[in-house]
Structure formats: C-alpha cells, structure tokens
Amino acid sequence: MIEFVIWVIPSFIYAFVQKRKREWESILHSLGATWGDKKSHAIGLGIFLLVCVLSAIVFQLMPEDVFGSLGDSFTRVTSIGAGIVIALRAFGEEVFFRGFLGGFLMRRLGFLAGNTLQAVIFLLPHLSLLILNTGLCPIVVLQFFLGWVLGWLRHYSGSFLPGAVAHMATNIAVTFLV
C-alpha cells in the first residue's frame, strides 16, 4: 500500500503546483487522468492477453529451480487483500510512470525517446528481481516490453487508465502462472 502512495504523490504535487496557472481539466489531461475511449480499453485488453501469453512462455523456458529458490519473496495472490495490494501497486506505477513521467517525457522529447526513457526508468525498481535470482532476467526483459507498450497506449489514448487496467490484471494473473 505504501508503494501506491509513493508512486501517486508526485502527480498530486504536480497538479497542485500547476493549479496556480491552469484549470483542473488541463492538468488532468496532461497527467493522462482521463477515462480513455472504448477502443483504448480494448487495446489494453489485448496487451493484457499478449503479456499473459508471453509470461507463460517465459516461465516455461526458465529453469524449474528459479521460482523455488525465491521462497515467499515472490508476490502471489494468497487472499483478496493480497490481490488488492498487487492491483494498487500496479495502478500507482501507471499513475507515475505513464501518467506523470511518461506524459512529461513524451511532451519534451517526443514519443520514441520519451517513451523509451520512461520504460527504462520503469525498469529500474524492477531490477531488484535480479538480486533475488539472476535467472529472472527474462521477466525483467518482459517488464521493459510491458512498460514500453503501456507507454505507447498512454500516448495513443491520452490516458493512463487503459494501461493501468491492463497492468493490474496482468500482475494479478501472472501470480497464478508461477
């Protein structure tokens, strides 16, 4: 839950600082805090399904001992509360990485450079998986891919919400594949 708060705080600070000179609608739009359209949510569903299939393939290709060596350190949905925490963490990451940071970088650097940079920055906290076991490297590559594709969806739709729904669903679904 603390991760959710940490990821969301920069967007709140940005919004309140910007409020002095802009309207809320403009601020929310720049943060990608809009509903998005049906087509964007359908694309998000497709991304969710694609990443689930890619995750299943990656997990099958990994040595069997990789997940066993992690013990309880790998997140699993063991209760409704755990599922909520996993979903909130993913939502907070989308607010920050695609909403705040991705929006800012893509406006300043253009789509390709800005989106790639936000995906690299998104990857940084996920590199801690390699501390647990270097055999998790394929998952890290998949996380970079997910960060880049969700950044594209944010750019395409103007909203982080379709990507947030896909990210939350993916993080929960993947725990059942492990």
65 versus 142: the higher-pLDDT residue is 142
Q: What is the average per-residue pLDDT within 1-20?
A: 95
C-alpha span between 168 and 90 (Å, rounded): 5
Inter-residue contact 139 to 58 (CB < 8 Å): yes
Where do the domains of the chain lie? 2-7+38-177
C-alpha span between 72 and 47 (Å, rounded): 28
Amino acid sitting at position 125: P
C-alpha span between 122 and 98 (Å, rounded): 9
Structure tokens at 75: 């997140």
Mean per-residue pLDDT of the chain:
92
Residue 37, helix vs strand vs coil: coil
| Gap between the terminal Cα atoms of the chain | 23
Task: Check residue 73 and give its pLDDT.
Answer: 47
The count of other CB atoms within 10 Å of the CB of residue 38 is 9
Of 99, 72, 83, 73, the C-alpha closest to 153 is 99
pLDDT digits (tens, 9 = 90+) for 43-102: 999 999 999 999 999 988 888 777 666 554 455 667 888 889 999 999 999 999 999 999
Output the pTM of the full model: 0.92
